[in-house]
A and B are shown apart, each in its own frame.
Chain A
Amino acid sequence: MERIIVCVKPVPDPKHWDKVSMDPETQTLKREGIPSIINPLDKHALEAALTLREVHGGEVILLSMAPPFADATLREGLAMGADRAVLLSDRVFAGSDTLATARILAAGCRWIGSFDLVLCGNLTVDGSTAQVCSQLGEFLDLPSVMHVVELSDEGGSKLLATQKIENGLCTLRVPLPAVLSVRKELNKPRYIPFTGILAAESKEIALLSNADLKINEGLVGLHGSPTQMAGLELKKFQRAGERLEGSVDEIVQALVERFYKLGVLS
């Protein structure tokens, strides 16, 4: 394998999501002060790429569409062992839904040139759409396979990929190049060695704008996104709770009575 592209998305660290609030005027989420990390599943995708590289050699490239300051987050992937990174950043990309995002990432893949494999995470923690992998496959006109929990090289430009499906597993023989997205069962991302952090400093992050990718501006960002946000609310689920009080024994009896009343016990 000569080249593996790993799509990584910088996401707000879920550990700090209690700091998220809503701006009532603009109806947007305020996320100031929340640090970015690489989307956790994307590290599993990167681990898979690094494992394949250990066997076959070749190059592992990180691909990301994000604001320019995301380069700091990409360093983490470079420290893990990726060879270089390509960051797609342009004001006209802002507001892209998954369709537009996949289109931009596809253009990034084409800009990189030839590749054998594109790996993604199955879903992101913030958007959680799990749509980019299939859509990237479609825009690149390549096979796509999601939910990958096992991956092995069959030689002859083929991989065996096992998908998790309801109540089971489905193993596919996948001709390359292809786009795959992975679940966390696939592997355990390696720890970042100190030497990796040092090495990452000198690795290249190519910053590309739409001047490089030349996608029709009507097809990216808000204009290129068929889905629109019609509303956003911090949801409150409300029920008029009744508190059971008294001794433990009284509480237990009251609860059991309730089970009878609900018809759960008879």
Chain B
Amino acid sequence: MNDNQRHIWVFTEQRGGALHDVGLELLSKARALADEVGGTVSALLLGSDVSELTDRLAGGGADTVYLAEDPGLEPYRLLPYTSVLEAMVSEHRPEVLLMGATAMGVELAPRLAARLGTGLSAHCIDLRWNDEGHLLQVVPGWGGGVIATIACPNHRPQMATVMPGAMKASTFPDREGKIIRVDVSPPMEDSGPQVVEIKTETPSELPLEKADVIVAGGWGIGSPEKWGLIEELARLLGGAVGATRPPVDEGWTEEGRMIGQSGKTVRPSLYIGIGISGVMHHVVGMDQSGHIVSINSDPNAEIFETSDTIIVEDFNKILPPLIAELKARQGK
């Protein structure tokens, strides 16, 4: 590798041998950023017995896969991961280091950034180069819809965590990546927190990020009984249920259904929002959807600004006949 080249690194997280999609999403974005400036993309894969994942990383856009395997790296623990990544960064000095804003990335990236003494921006929704060749990191900020652009001009690497779903994964079938094994020595120290138990629930329904149709309800739905209409419409359209924060807080639906700044970022082909006002916190999570339909009784609802199809009406009037019509057409 040529040292004047810009090296973009992506931490591609896995747990128990399962790669998180956000790693592939970031590789694809990194590929685009690198190609713009003639740079390189590397994936960082840590764990034990995970070498079979390297093909997917190369096919996802990585020129190089750095593979660090050690029994001490499975399951993930913050302190050993920080040490291994610190050593790798110090040796190879990448320009950019990206991670997913997942439970793991959100905890690991800041610790690593502090150890390296560099900057980190959180929960980015977009990344691009500026004229000086610095990475601009676009983050949704607080309240009434603030978008901040963050740069880290004088420290390296430029680090960012990126919202899962904010970028789109791609495959590069004819790319071949080089695998570089990373020597994890000295062996991991073990005085820190130890994993006692990991409990995973396999989600029974289609994960929100993978759904091609999302029917999302907001506070305007008003009650858990009425929430059933949202669920039924989603089922009839073969889609997933999404929500703003209030329905989650009220317990009408689970936390994993929340879309927006503190929830998921989604980009379905069709997004139907019902009883949603369109506050920035929510909109940042859905504005990349293909077609947006909004049903809101308030003609001035902000969500209409972000909509392709607008229905100014009480959802109680629209949903029951819509559901009946879909059922009739599907012969149910």
Chain A residues close to B by CB (< 8 Å): 12, 14, 17-18, 20-22, 29, 97-99, 102, 123, 125-135, 137-139, 143-147, 160-161, 163-175, 178, 225-244, 248-249, 251-253, 255-256, 258-259, 262-265
Contact = CB atoms under 8 A, between A and B. Distances in A.
**Interface SS of A by simple majority:** mixed
Interface of B: 15, 20, 75, 78-79, 82, 102-104, 106-111, 113-115, 117-123, 130, 134, 136, 140-155, 191-203, 212-213, 237-239, 261-262, 269-270, 280, 283-284, 287, 290-294, 304-313, 317-318, 321-322, 325-326, 329
A19 B213 CA distance: 35
The 9 A-B pairs at the shortest CB distance, nearest first, are namely A226-B119, A17-B143, A168-B200, A227-B119, A231-B149, A131-B110, A138-B114, A134-B110, A134-B111
Given A173-B193, A225-B119, A239-B306, A99 B113 contact: yes
Given A229-B149, A235-B280, A255-B322, A135 B306 contact: no
Contact of A165 (B104, B194, B284, B322): B104
A20 B143 contact: yes
B196 A238 contact: no
A17 B103 contact: no
A253 B325 CA distance: 8
Contacts of A146: 103, 106-107
Given A169-B198, A248-B313, A227 B152 contact: yes
Question: Max chain A CB contacts within 10 Å: which of B82, B143, B269, B310?
Answer: B143
Given A98-B120, A259-B237, A166 B103 contact: yes
19 contacts: A20-B146, A98-B122, A99-B114, A128-B122, A131-B122, A134-B107, A161-B193, A165-B103, A169-B197, A171-B199, A174-B193, A226-B154, A231-B149, A235-B145, A236-B145, A237-B305, A251-B311, A252-B321, A255-B293
B307 A241 contact: yes
Given A128-B122, A145-B193, A167-B203, A137 B151 contact: no
Contacts of A12: 142-143
B150 A227 contact: yes
Contact of A234 (B108, B118, B119, B146): B146
A8 to B, nearest CB: 18
Contact of A244 (B143, B148, B203, B309): B309
A244 B50 CA distance: 52
A166 B311 contact: no
